[in-house]
Each structure stands twice: as structure tokens, then as C-alpha cells.
């Protein structure tokens, strides 16, 4: 089964408006016409619209970093799926480990956010992954299994097929540590087998499962050539045009 690779850059809480514009313009020049790999960038909320205008005629897609599970209401400081699509977003990251750990997001909430994003036509990039203690205790697969089941609770195969998963071992995010290609492949294969059991083989075979965790141009190829790894959710390396370009083109 051949799945088109997706490289998504999560800018997190970085880049002012001038900086974001400069990076977006440079990315359009460097990779805007790349067609054999899908690409997305997730700027902070304050710069989503101006960045969307810059990348509009390129092959780079726009993603939100988060959303609220309700579409409107008295939720000060929050952003809805409808607001994201109104400024040109096609994707949204949901359940990132930083949202889980720092902001206390749990699987039930993540499930509601996925539903909200899908209702407005967004493609959720749903993040799952274990922390260091869970891996050292031999519970990594059980933790990820619980997160996947919680994220997709109550959904059928046709609904789940409209999402993308991202496996991000928490111990590898922003630490400079990266899961070895074999470690990452083992978990991606485990997730794919889980999806086949929860839904069907068609969902499992077609679902894109990204790897996230200190991905760089130097380690990207070793990860991306694994049979069950379909791209990357990139953090720090997405803040520089040359390094993001290197990841996008790592299999060229």
C-alpha cells in the first residue's frame, strides 16, 4: 500500500507577523511547487490569515494548532473550527502532547475536538504517544492503544478515514532525542494493526500515520523509508526554511 507522504510543520508559539510572513514566503519559493509530497504548516492563530494569503497559490496547506470543541459561545481566548476554515485552514492538530500535558486535555475532550473539526471539513492530525516513564515501564503500546481508542470512540470507519494520526513519543519532543527508525516503525505498525481491529483493514491500510519527535533533515530519511511511517509532524526544524525543505525532500 502506497500512501502519499505528509510533512507538517508545527510552528507552536513562535514567530511574530513579520517573521511568519518571511518564513512563509521563503517556503513558497523553496517548496511551493513540490507535488510528490503533501505539505502543511501550522502557524500561531495571530498569523494564520496573512500566512494563508502567502501560500494560497502554492502546494502548501494551512493547519491550525488547536481548536475548541464548540463552534461558538462564551469561550474567551478560544478558536473554533469554523474560524479556522474561514481563514483558509484545511487541517488542524488535535491532542498534541503539549496540550495533553500542559493544558490537561484528555481523550474525551480530544474526541469532541476531532468531531468538531470534521464537521467543518478540516482534516484532524490526531496526536498520540507515551512519555519516558511509560516507555521504560513497558507500557508504551498500551498507552497509545488507549489514546487511539479514546480519540475515535463512537466513530465509524468512514469518519475515522477522514483523519490523520501522528505518533509522537513525548520523550523525543524538543529533547534532541529521536526514536530509532525501528522503534518508530514498531509503534506505527502496532497502531495500524489496532486500526484494523477497531475498524477494518481498509482504514488501517489507508490511514496516514506521521512520526513526530525531534525530526531533522539528518534523521528524516531513515524514518520516512519505514513501511508504516507516512510523513512527519515537525517542530523546531519547521521554523527554518532550509531544514523544513530538507525534510520535505528527504526521499528525493
Query: Domain coordinates of the chain in residue numbers?
Result: 6-248
Domain spanning 6-248: which superfamily?
Answer: Aldolase class I (3.20.20.70)
Rounded Cα distance, 96 and 21, in Å: 24
Residues whose CB falls within 8 Å of the CB of residue 27, separated by 6 or more in sequence, listed in order:
41, 55, 58, 60, 241, 244, 245
Tens-place pLDDT, residues 44-55: 999 999 999 999
- Given pLDDT bands bounded at 50, 70 and 90, which one contains residue 19? very high
- Given pLDDT bands bounded at 50, 70 and 90, which one contains residue 149? very high
Q: Give the residue numbers marked as catalytic.
A: 96, 168
- From 82, 63, 64, select the one nearest 73 (Cα to Cα): 82
Section 158-172 average pLDDT: 94
- Is the pLDDT score of 17 beyond 90? yes
Question: Could you tell me how many residues make up the chain?
Answer: 252
Q: What is the pLDDT of residue 62?
A: 98
pTM: 0.97
- Over its C-alpha atoms, the chain yields an Rg (Å, rounded) of 17
**Secondary structure (3-state) at 40:** strand
- Is the pLDDT score of 147 beyond 90? yes
Amino acid at each position: 500500500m502506497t500512501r502519499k507522504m505528509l510533512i507538517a510543520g508545527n510552528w507552536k508559539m513562535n514567530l511574530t507577523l513579520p517573521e511568519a510572513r518571511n518564513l512563509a514566503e521563503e517556503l513558497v519559493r523553496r517548496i511551493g511547487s513540490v507535488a510528490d509530497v503533501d505539505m502543511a504548516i501550522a502557524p500561531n492563530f495571530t498569523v494564520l490569515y496573512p500566512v494563508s494569503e502567502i501560500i494560497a497559490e502554492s502546494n502548501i496547506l494551512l493547519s491550525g494548532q488547536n481548536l475548541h470543541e464548540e463552534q461558538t459561545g462564551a469561550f474567551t481566548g478560544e478558536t473554533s473550527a469554523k474560524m479556522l476554515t474561514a481563514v483558509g485552514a484545511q487541517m488542524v492538530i488535535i491532542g498534541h502532547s503539549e496540550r495533553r500535558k500542559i493544558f490537561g486535555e484528555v481523550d474525551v475532550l480530544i474526541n469532541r475536538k476531532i468531531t468538531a473539526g470534521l464537521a467543518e471539513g478540516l482534516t484532524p492530525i490526531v496526536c498520540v504517544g507515551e512519555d519516558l516513564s511509560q516507555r521504560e515501564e513497558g507500557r508504551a503500546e498500551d498507552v497509545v492503544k488507549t489514546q487511539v481508542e479514546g480519540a475515535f470512540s463512537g466513530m465509524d470507519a468512514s469518519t475515522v478515514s477522514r483523519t490523520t494520526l501522528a505518533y509522537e513519543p513525548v520523550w523525543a519532543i524538543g529533547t534532541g532525542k529521536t526514536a530509532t527508525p525501528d522503534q518508530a516503525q514498531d509503534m506505527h505498525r502496532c497502531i495500524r494493526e489496532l486500526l484494523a481491529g477497531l475498524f477494518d483493514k481498509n482504514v488501517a491500510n489507508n490511514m496516514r500515520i506521521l512520526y513526530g519527535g525531534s525530526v531533522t533533515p539528518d534523521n528524516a530519511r531513515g524514518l520516512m523509508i519505514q513501511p508504516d511511517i507516512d510523513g512527519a509532524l515537525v517542530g523546531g526544524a519547521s521554523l527554518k526554511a532550509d531544514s523544513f525543505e530538507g525534510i520535505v525532500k528527504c526521499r528525493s
